[in-house]
Amino acid sequence: MLLDHSSRSFPLPPAIRQVVYTTNSIESLNARDRRAAQACGHFLKETAALKPLYFATPALEPT
What are 17-41's pLDDT values in tens digits?
A: 888 878 888 888 888 888 887 887 7
pLDDT (mean) for 4-28 = 75
Q: What is the dihedral of CA 8, 9, 11, 15, to 10 degrees?
A: -90
Q: Is the Cβ–Cβ distance between 12 and 2 less than 8 Å?
A: no
Does the structure show a pLDDT above 60 at 5? Answer: no
Concatenated DSSP letters of 8-57? HHS---HHHHHHHHHHHHHHHHHHHHHHHHHHH---SSHHHHHHHHHHHT
pLDDT value of position 43: 79
pLDDT value of position 1: 46
Q: What is the CA radius of gyration of the chain?
A: 16
